[in-house]
Amino acid sequence: MSFAGKVWRLLVGIKDALVLVFMLLFFVALFSILSARPSPGQVQNGALLLELDGYVVEERSEIDPIEALLSREAPVGEFPARELIQALDAAADDDRIKAVVFDLSRFLGGGQVHLQAIGEAIDQVRAAKKPVLVYAFGYGDDGMMLAAHASEVWVDPMGGAIIAGPGGAHLYYADLLKKLKVNARVYRVGTYKSAVEPYMLNAMSDEARENYAALYGALWEEWQANVVKARPGLKIDLATGDPAGWVDASKGDLAKAALAAGMVDKLGSRVDFGDRVAELVGDDPWDDRPGAYAATNLAPYVADSAPSKKGKAIGVVTIAGEIVDGDAGPGVAGGDRIAQLLDDALDDDLAALVVRVDSPGGSVPASEEIRRAILRHKKTGIPIAVSMGNLAASGGYWVSTPGDRIFAQPETITGSIGVFGVVPTFEGTAGELGVNSDGYRTTPLSGQPDLIGGFPPEVDRILQSSVENTYARFLGLVSKTRKMPVEQVDRIAQGRVWDGGSARQLGLVDQFGGVDDALAWAAQKAGLKDGEWHAKYLGVASNDYDSLLRRFIRSDDGQATAGADLFGMVARQQGQLKARLAQDLDRLIGIRSVQAYCLECPQQAPARTRSGSGAVLLQALGALLRN
């Protein structure tokens, strides 16, 4: 029996080894397939099909293919606004493209600046006498903002559309921290710097409410103006003034309610919609399924319509996502990574530099590292333009200060010139558990920071003084570059967040315009005419397998696969709530530098950071509170 057992164990070991080998070969083969570059040869006569299964973003985040394949959660789709605009601009003049089709069935949103820019590109397609058709099971605010520019808007008869407007609730943890006897030590400067309020209060402060009312009021006015201009027949008052009565009038049929409010043009299934597109562009020669039509997808079309690289290069560096220490990103603005990109470009003989910012801020040291790298380009004598996207607040404004000219849009969220730090100590929690801290100290700072025993007054004073000093530096940067007295900057700072229109009036922004306007200004300042320059985006683009990998793996977390009706929207919100809790807790307990971060800025996509400590603590807190 002993010999037989050894043979059996040997066979089992060989079997396990073969399984591992085959799994490795499978993933290598899969990696090779997914790494295939989109081919311009895939472009065919018909429609340009834009299936936006995820978020519109400034910069696509990088994913680890093996980690994504082995994990239980798939990355959510991300579509850089620049690629969508490039494709739409090319489609307007491309005889192969007979129509543009948007499938927004699983569209999760994007910032107002991005969506407005895409809407303007749609208008150019329509101006070229080409139809633009949109289909979705359900439309929210962001989907409606895109669809308003289309020539035909379709919705499934079982679907509908809802306009909610900006705003919502934040979570506040003061009572929870009190119950857990956690001392959230907050150090901040700025009357309106509300990023730390969730750890101090149980409700929004009057100052924060005032700031939110002004900011969201301006964004809401811009949203309505843009959508009504694009779709004059839309009855916003009907859909938002008494939404329950509006739905009741259609006996709960959201699709008919949307039709009555002029939000959509036609009700029909996906097959009905496909048949309509086929009437315009022709049948798909390779697909005879109902509703199929000739179409080219985004990736190959972007590869086919790559812009010219003639003439001098104008560098474009992208600062997207939270600004963090280290080399994180793309999709997260790692200070070391971006500074290295800028330093590497010093040898590229750039004619000018455009700094594209779409960030709520973050680490002050990382923001300063990026600012210094931009200044090294400025010392070469080239013009520097800053182009603000959806967000350029707090640390996002810090990195904008070196710009010779700052461009923003009315919907841009900027300002938030304030600084904070938060450090939790657990002396109360430890005492409740019977753990005490004691020892011998040669100075008041010996053994500090002591997260279990707490901080002496000297440490609190030093940390607060450091935050105040950083705030003074922030004011000084803005004062010098915007040519304002420090006292004037202080009055419009204090952590207050501004919409782009207000920021322009206050002198924080020079003029309205997008990245193309910033590039044109930089070219003009560099003495270059049209055709004598091209934009050179600094950094390595996301791997070509990213978009395919996002499609290949289906998420099981409910966010990307939940239905598109109202109950599906609730399911997605449930997943987002978990992420928000983890993010808030991570911001409390994570190891971070002093922060210039804008909590007031609405998130267009799930925040991407490097730390997972918040999720771990969330699980621990859940277990504790159940006891």
What are the residue numbers of the active site? Answer: 193, 394
How far apart CA 553 and CA 414 sit, in angstroms, is 36
Using the 8-state DSSP alphabet, how is residue 392 labeled? E
Give the long-range contacts of residues 117-121, CB within 8 A, separation 24 or more: 117/81, 117/85, 117/514, 118/56, 118/81, 118/84, 118/85, 118/88, 118/146, 119/145, 119/146, 119/148, 119/149, 119/226, 119/230, 120/149, 121/84, 121/85, 121/88, 121/89
Q: Let me know: does 74 contact 50? Beta carbons within 8 Å.
A: no
Residue spans of alpha helices (H) in 93-232: 112-127, 141-147, 174-179, 197-200, 206-230
Residue whose entry in the numeric block shows the structure tokens 């979705």: 136
How far apart CA 598 and CA 322 sit, in angstroms, is 10
In 365-443, which ranges are E strands? Answer: 384-393, 405-408, 413-415, 419-425
Hey, is 531 helix, strand or coil?
coil
- Can you state the angle between helices 335-344 and 364-378, rounded to 10 degrees? 10
Structure-token pair, residue 479: 């004062």
Using the 8-state DSSP alphabet, how is residue 289 labeled? S
SS (H, E, C) 180-198: CCCEEEEEEECCCCHHHHH
Q: Let me know: does 412 contact 503? Beta carbons within 8 Å.
A: yes
How far apart CA 374 and CA 369 sit, in angstroms, is 9
Hey, is 410 helix, strand or coil?
coil
- Angle 494-500-506 from CA coordinates, rounded to 5°: 55
Asked if the bond preceding 449 is cis, omega within 30° of 0, the reply is yes
Question: Which residues, other chains included, contact 197 with Cβ-Cβ below 8 Å and sequence gap of 6+?
Answer: 170, 172, 204, 205, 208, 599
